[in-house]
Amino acid sequence: MQPSRPLSAVEEFVARTGTPIVLGATIHGPLDTDALARAVQRLCDRYPLLTYRITRDGHRHRLTPAPDRPPPRLRHTSGSEPFDGPFAPGDPLLRATLARRPDGTHQWVLALHHAISDGVAALSVTSLLWQTYTALVTGDHEPTPPSEPAVHPATDDLLARRHPPLEVAAWLARQAVDIVTHRTAHLPSRRPGPSPRHGAHLHTTELTTTQAHRLYRAARQHRTTTTAMLCGIVLLAIHTRLTPAHRSRRLSLGVTVGLRPRMTPPIPNHRLTTATSFIPVNTTVGTDDTPATLGRLIDHQFATARDADHAERQAVALRYLLHAPTPIPYTAMVTNMATHRFRSTLPPGTRLSGTFGYAPAPGPVPAVFVTRVDHTLGLHLATPRAWYDADQAANLARALDHHLTAAVGGPED
């Protein structure tokens, strides 16, 4: 087993919040719970990092081998307890829960510590879990993913070799000026500040295949991308919830960007590591705007940010902000996980529905996650419970559904 190592700045930031990445679904049909429990155990054989723990080391944290601690196990629950609470130091880095419902279905949830996994890796772990489960049930050969060391260098530590400290310091200074100069509106919170409430209010909207195709077609017709169109829809939904609703407001999004392809060599999707950053989108939103007009503006900002290596510098710069954390400067956040499909290889007669994936934001910022299952899309709005109550979350979800339907039509159209 490899020795421990200190967490990088990005990993440290997530370790302090304990943020999980949560994937789940409803299971229909026969389910061999013993086989599923064995499949969860097999994950630790495929991913030795899952046997490690994140432990305190003074004011920082470390990834530490824990050969004497029990590895993650499938846990049966009532289904009433929250499954997106933060990880504490010393907790297993994976939580797998299963709850049987009165109608005979099961709710399955997998939560990975965000310090060791991004959405791409979490989807790979989920795919491997169900492939292994199916092999155990049917007697087929179990999948054998590539063997890798348990611990790899952190992505932001590797990027720091590309961007010298003076360059990053100058970039940070320019960002600070931009934030002050272009202040953006935020959804008002009904809670005075962080509360003991963990996780997020989750609202999921599943597009039909027809609606998803309309979205793809509209993006092509307006010479923009699906991600940019969805960002425009999110901005319009938030604008609806600000008062007065007729007034134009400057809004901002933090849009997740994958760093795996930008590394040399590229980081494979199955590797357990966090390799994401953010690109900011800032624009004035009014009642006459449409997802297409906003999408073209957003695409232009994406291209400019990519050319300036914004996402890379953002990841490296976090090491200079750990001792003086700043508020999240976005109105909302958007993560498009649909670039990697939610794969579930299941035995005959068993299927999944109501799949979801998200990570609660560590601040007063709603977050929208987009997932893909087969040929359709799911939008998952995660509104932090610590800052927003259930009514606020439901109202924002209704606004998002309204603008989504306006853009792609209803399910029956």
Q: What's residue 1's pLDDT?
A: 59
H-helix or E-strand spanning residue 313: helix 310-317
pTM: 0.95
Range with the lowest mean pLDDT among 182-186, 229-233, 323-327?
323-327
| DSSP per residue, 108-155 | EEEEEETTT--HHHHHHHHHHHHHHHHHHHH-PPPP-PPP--S----H
Helix, coil or strand: residue 387: coil
State in words which class domain 5-138 has: alpha beta
Average pLDDT of the chain is: 92
Contacts of 395 (CB under 8 A, 6+ apart): 241
User: pLDDT by residue (tens digit) across 60-71?
Assistant: 999 999 989 999
Instruction: Determine phi and psi for 95, rounding to 5 degrees.
Output: -120, 125
User: pLDDT by residue (tens digit) across 120-175?
Assistant: 999 999 999 999 999 999 999 998 877 788 889 999 999 999 999 999 999 999 98
* 5-138 and 155-408 agree in CATH topology: yes
pLDDT at residue 361 greater than cutoff 70: yes
Percent of the chain with pLDDT over 70: 97
User: pLDDT by residue (tens digit) across 327-355?
Assistant: 788 999 999 998 888 878 899 999 999 99
CATH of domain 155-408: 3.30.559.30
Asked if residues 240 and 399 have their Cβ atoms less than 8 Å apart, the reply is yes
As a whole number of angstroms, the distance between CA 225 and CA 391 comes to 32
Domain ranges of the chain: 5-138, 155-408
Percent of the chain with pLDDT over 90: 79
Q: Looking at per-residue confidence, does 373 or 91 come out higher?
A: 91
Cα angle for residues 46, 50, 51 (degrees, 5° grid): 105
Helix, coil or strand: residue 258: strand
Contacts of 152 (CB under 8 A, 6+ apart): 271, 273
CA torsion 310-185-284-183 (nearest 10°) is -60
